[in-house]
Amino acid sequence: MTEQTQVSARKADDNPLLAQWSGPFGVPAFGRINAEHFRPAFARAFAAHAAEVAAIAGNAQAPTFANTIDALEASGETLARAVDLFHLLAGAHTNDAILAFERELAPLKAKHWDRILMDEALFGRIDGLYRMRDRLVLSAEQRRVLERYHVKFTRAGAALDAPTKTRLADVNERLATLGTTFSQNVLADEQSYALVLDGEDDLAGLPDFVRAAARTAAEERGLAGKHAITISRSSVEPFLQFSTRRDLREKIFRAWIARGDGGGATDNKAIIAEMVALRAERARLLGYPSFAHYRLDDTMAKTPQAVRALLERVWAPGRRRAMADRDALQALVQAEGKNFALAPWDWRYYAEKLRKARCDIDEATIKPYLQLERIIEAAFYTANRLFGLTFERRDGVPVWHDDVRVWEVRDAAGRHRGLFFGDYFARTSKHSGAWMTTLRDQERLRGDIHPLVVNVMNFSKAGEGEPTLLSFDDAKTLFHEFGHALHALLSDVTYPMIAGTNVLLDWSELPSQLFEHWLQRPEILHRFALHYRTGEPLPEDQLRGLLAARTFNQGQTTVEYLASALIDLDMHLKPAAGDGFDIDGFEQAELARIGMPAEIIMRHRPTHFQHVFAGAGYASAYYSYLWSEVLDADAFAAFEETGDIFDAGVAKRLHDDVYAAGGARDPVDLYTAFRGRLPTPDGLLRRRGLSEDAA
């Protein structure tokens, strides 16, 4: 080894993004990561992966599953570590240096993968194996992995001619840059705005827990003695629920929905126009009539027609319920002697009053019983009762922020299954929303590798010495993301490609949405909904009211979600529209076409619709939450039919055919194995209180 090579090797070992993760449980050394590590780490990781893939593609031996598919699955380990670590930091604890490198990295990553996925020799080996798959001796899992590789390469353009590949690669690179810019624009708008409340008049109507969170938010911004409402959902929505100051409700609401739509440097409208046009071109290059057709071809839904049929099946009853609620809310306005027409910034305020009248319950009386710590315990308890998992807090494990907690996860036999990281509180260095990700996926190909699983939330942190209290929606969000985490923790497959949440998108939300059901059961609430001061359980009358309120305001909830899903679908059914695409005009025309009530806003307006434009994860596929809800409503009924929400037999099937299976089989086959049949939307409509026979 030359001296220069030795120096390079030492530098690689010193770079925490390149070195083997040697912390407890194989966790990366977060405390050692500096901005200077990013560029050299990715340069080396890209080069190492490219060399590994070139060796596979250039192998003189005839292709076999072992020397092609196994080899591809085992390649790129260093790059995967660097990507997973960097993107966790970029989402959960970013800074100017990370943001700058994120913009640089996006096109580099797109170019790297295009070179691999469009490699003619490599695809020739995969295609040859795929064509002779019936003659190969493969396990069911290996056959599935081979099929998914063929789909992946074909959908990436591996079978196209050279000029078309070149153009497709240019499109992909540009889309990667635009998606990163879109996301950073939204983050910049969120970081730059806060509604400062100064004095008791500005705080009118706000309960103690909202005031405490607003005081903490102000202190974090150097505004000691004041209160601040940020445009994080967990801050905005409670303010809209309780503030009696209609002028301030309007002010924060308008700022909230205007993210990415300010007309300045962070405006996303031109980015949307270009992304929609490029996606349409990408689909056309790959032989599809629209991006929606391309995107949905590799989902359970398969076609835009199937998606539209489901969305419209739910839209009509959802809108009817919303309009009836609108009239009831307007009547409350008039009963107070006021003569204004209900506006979107009034809906949550008057809905809270209506819920109290109809269900004899309000958020302010429930929230003291929903302590963050207890809801975390409730999620762990449910996972233990269903799957035998235990969670033991581990200190001394490296983390990216002091707020992050770590638990070791073990199965019923006491075997280590992985680590679970919880990052629960909002901060200016974190993107808004809630998500699950991994730093390492489960697999057995390269050894018995256990996952490192992360949940990221944005709850408003309580003041020093006070417990963080959650709304019921916050608690459901925690259960939702923990359901995703269980999907990764319980994964029991050999190949990384099909491990954990690496499944078809409209199947991926089933484990998360299904897990929410347990939170809404008396068996869980009796045990964990305890008052933060007295320790007393939620009183029976309030528990009954809370459960009765599950379908309250479902018209508005359904309409705000479906409007976003329908606009996402219709936007991506368009042919290439060019840079002149007017997203504002399109949004207004589409909302008018579907009859969107003026008093309700979309859950995600296009200019901050990160599911769809911060990358392509849910582009043309935001419907998938509803698709999965059809499944989860029916899946939970399997437990209800036994009379035991922890029935061991149903739980075992759920473990084997949903949570542990990853993408090892087609989702239709997995669900049929679990339930014996496929569901209809009837259970979803009943759950939302939208069916004619719903209580």
At residue 127, what is the residue type? D
Please report where in the chains the tokens 């359904």 appear, as a residue: 558
DSSP collapsed to 3 states, 7-40: HHHHHHHHCCCCCCCCCHHHCCCHHHCCHHHHHH
d(CA 437, CA 485): 8
The secondary structure of 176-207 as a DSSP string is HHHHHHHHHHHHHHHHH-EEEE-STTTTTT--
Half-sphere exposure of residue 200: CA atoms within 13 angstroms, side-chain side:
0
Tell the burial category of 392 from Cβ atoms under 10 Å away from its Cβ (0-12, 13-18, 19+): exposed
DSSP collapsed to 3 states, 445-496: CCCCECCEEEEEEEECCCCCCCCCECCHHHHHHHHHHHHHHHHHHCCCCCCH
Measured at the CA of 367, the angle between CA 639 and CA 210, to 5 degrees, comes to 140
d(CA 525, CA 538): 8
Sign of CA dihedral 664, 147, 565, 276: positive
d(CA 171, CA 168): 5
Residue 543 has a CB neighbour count (10 Å cut-off) of: 18
d(CA 100, CA 82): 16
User: What end-to-end distance do the CA atoms of the chain give, in Å?
Assistant: 76
Contacts of residue 5, defined as CB under 8 A and 6 or more positions apart, other chains included, come to none
Which one from 73, 481, 560, 629 is the annotated catalytic residue? 481
Catalogue the long-range contacts made by 342-345 (C-beta closer than 8 Å, 24 or more residues apart).
342/599, 343/250, 343/599, 344/253, 344/257, 344/598, 344/599, 344/600, 344/601, 345/240, 345/246, 345/249, 345/250, 345/252, 345/253, 345/254
Alpha helices (H) in 34-161, listed in sequence order? 38-57, 71-74, 77-92, 96-117, 120-131, 140-155
Contacts of residue 205, defined as CB under 8 A and 6 or more positions apart, other chains included, come to 242, 243, 244, 245
Q: Give the containing element (helix H, strand E) for 670.
A: helix 667-675
Residue 521 has a CB neighbour count (10 Å cut-off) of: 16
> What's the distance, CA 678 to chain centroid?
25
396 secondary structure, DSSP code: S
Asked about 481 being catalytic, the answer comes back as yes
Tell the burial category of 415 from Cβ atoms under 10 Å away from its Cβ (0-12, 13-18, 19+): exposed
Radius of gyration of the chain (CA): 25
Residue 83 has a CB neighbour count (10 Å cut-off) of: 16
222, 303 Cβ separation under 8 angstroms? no
> Where in the sequence numbering do the catalytic residues fall?
481
